[in-house]
Amino acid sequence: MYDPIITLNQAVLSTYSPEQKAELYKSCPTEVFETDENYEQFTVGDAMRCMYCDECVKLADSFKDNPEDDSAVSIRMREDKFIFSVETTGQLKPEEVVICALDLIREKLSSLKHQCLELSQDDQGSSAPITPFG
């Protein structure tokens, strides 16, 4: 899962009626947003709750007068951070499971590299092999 980056355009939000803000707040099934009882203050509460359903983005886009106008909400994935969870039965620590998995992936990639080298040498004779690793 990617870490979500949720941006609220406060300038656009300030043009919304309290009813529109309430509708936007309620559009999120996981309650990512926080607001006061009058829907005057509108902020991102817990971005990690976001499940990328885009309901808030679709609703905010429907409030736009022109398609070219800025949206009140944008959601994108932070591509330099990846989140995953590891569950164990208790025999190994989660850290050990991850290390073992990485070792297996390394072995499989090494095997793939050698197979590519062999295929490349078979096809090209003794010329330089082409590998997926450059």
Rg (C-alpha) for the chain, rounded Å, is 24
**Average pLDDT of the chain to the nearest whole number:** 90
Q: State the pLDDT confidence band at 134, using cuts at 50, 70 and 90.
A: low
Q: Cα angle at 78 between 76 and 79, to 5 degrees?
A: 115
Q: What is the mean pLDDT of residues 6-24?
A: 95
Give the per-residue pLDDT at 83: 83
Q: Cα angle at 44 between 41 and 50, to 5 degrees?
A: 145
Give the per-residue pLDDT at 30: 96
**For 38-76, how does the pLDDT look when each residue is reduced to its tens digit (9 = 90+)?**
888 899 999 999 999 999 999 999 999 999 999 999 999
CA-nearest of 60, 51, 70 to 24 is 60
Give the per-residue pLDDT at 99: 96
Give the per-residue pLDDT at 82: 81
This prediction has a pTM of 0.66
